[in-house]
Structure 1
Amino acid sequence: MLILRELSITRGQGTGCHEVHLPHLELASGDMLAVVGPSGCGKSTLLEALGLLLQPRSLKRYALGPNAIDLAAMLQDGDESALARIRSRELGFLLQNGGLLPFLSVRDNIALPRRLLGLTASSERVRHACATLGLEPLLDKRPGELSIGERQRTAFVRAMAHEPRLLLADEPTAALDPQAGERLFALILSLVQELDMAALVVSHDHSLVNQFRLPRLVANLTSGGCRFEPEP
């Protein structure tokens, strides 16, 4: 599903320069990997690079999907139209702040990525996710009428609504109470397996990571930044 070799991203300049390095990563369909490490080490930067939102300083290989789409070549060529197509169809991104559009209802926020791809506004899996996360009574409300946790749950359903190949979730349970966080983690894992997706989930909640026995991509601080490596 995903093969990556020698990804490096540099943020800042001079004494404030911070390099994030991921030497190797492979994910198969149905895999869900927890990204763990201290605050400020570069976990969000790593997700942004994997989500094709940042230009890496160096990247030897980045292949996605059963046809091994060559994303490294697209990045190297600066092919923005091709990258935009991949982001809209193959990737699902759940940001820490949710990123919901304030002028759209919950229903329309969730439907947006499907409509942009010419799909029907909803699907059985979207309806199941809304029911599991308690969003059904909120579908006609706007984000400003929701709690932080409700917005985060809505943002997750929007991120998976178009059934992407790769889901990137940045602290999806940070605004949720323990019970809601557990439901969301369980739903992410079940959908990743059901839809043959792969997922990387940044999380500070080690109890949830342990509970669901997720393999980990661990941040190791270096003199110039951070190196991410799979936990042995």
Structure 2
Amino acid sequence: MLHIENLTIRRGPDYRIALPLLSLQRGEVAAITGASGCGKSTLLEMIGLILRPETLDSYRLGDSATALDIADLLHEDRQKALADIRARRLGFVLQTGGLLPFLSVRQNIELPRRMLGLSVASEPVEDAIERLNLAPLLAKKPGQLSIGERQRVSFVRAIAHEPDLLLADEPTAALDPIQARKLFELIIELVRRWRIAALLVTHDWDLVRDCGIRNLVGVPDDKAPKGGTVFHDAA
């Protein structure tokens, strides 16, 4: 469903971040881990079509018969087409949550569907609201929520338009260990149920191991003469 080959970018004049190969199937969840400052969020932004890579051999998104070939769009810097893919095919969970403070929880969740002209009535969305215990919060504004509640709402909003790929940057970083584990496990469960592919940046190696998901680890790149990180599947 997602296939990327030879994706690299420079952060500053010297530091290189590289992803030699990544393939994800529908319903598959992978973590992105590594030392602080190694480029995990930068990698996520490259995969999320926010940053333009320095090199890229292949980037395909979607089922084989209808997969989008995104590499040419990135090479040609076709921003309008890339923005449309981000809106329709990708879902983002930011560290800060990114909820609009002047909208209610319900309105925040419905926003991606409204912007894409989709019906706001969605059985999977209602299922996610129930599973994450958000029903009592739907009329509230983000400022009235706890950090954990905001992160749960942000996750539902990110998948409300049923994207192909979910990208989450430290979705549990501000939570205590018990709440972090609960949210992490719920994200994995719902991603598998909805058959979305997902990449989750996290610093919590124990949580990744305990949940038994795939782990892309950032290690020093020996081929980068002035320093860098290369992301590989953990052995």
Verify same fold: TM over 0.5.
yes
- 2:205 equivalent to 1:206: yes
TM-score (norm 1): 0.94
**Per-residue deviation at 1:60?**
0.8
**Per-residue deviation at 1:183?**
2.7
- AA aligned to 2:108 is N
- The equivalences for 1:3-22 within 5 A come to 3-13=3-13, 17-22=14-19
Q: How far apart in 2 are the matches of 1:78 and 1:32?
A: 29
Q: How far apart in 2 are the matches of 1:143 and 1:9?
A: 35
The structure 1 segments of at least 4 consecutive aligned residues displaced by more than 3 Å after TM superposition are none
Match of 1:215 in 2: 214
Q: Is the 8 A contact 1:103 1:142 kept in 2?
A: yes
CA RMSD of aligned residues (A): 1.4
Q: Secondary structure at the match of 2:71?
A: helix
Q: Secondary structure at the match of 1:59?
A: coil
- AA aligned to 1:48 is E
Q: Is the 8 A contact 1:2 1:25 kept in 2?
A: yes
- 2:93 equivalent to 1:94: yes
Q: How far apart in 2 are the matches of 1:114 and 1:208?
A: 31
Give the % identical residues. Answer: 55
Greater Cα shift, 174-183 or 68-77: 174-183
Q: Is the 8 A contact 1:133 1:183 kept in 2?
A: no
- The equivalences for 1:1-232 within 5 A come to 1-13=1-13, 17-66=14-63, 67-222=66-221, 223-232=226-235
Structure 2, unmatched stretches of 5+, are none
Alignment length (residue pairs): 229
- AA aligned to 1:182 is R
Q: How far apart in 2 are the matches of 1:208 and 1:76?
A: 36
Q: How far apart in 1 are the matches of 2:157 and 2:147?
A: 15
TM-score (norm 2): 0.92
**Per-residue deviation at 1:177?**
2.9
Q: How far apart in 2 are the matches of 1:153 and 1:86?
A: 24
Deviations 1:174-230 (A, max 9, x none): 122333323322222222222221111111222221221011100002351211011
- AA aligned to 2:205 is H
Q: Secondary structure at the match of 2:166?
A: strand
Structure 1, unmatched stretches of 5+, are none
- AA aligned to 1:9 is I
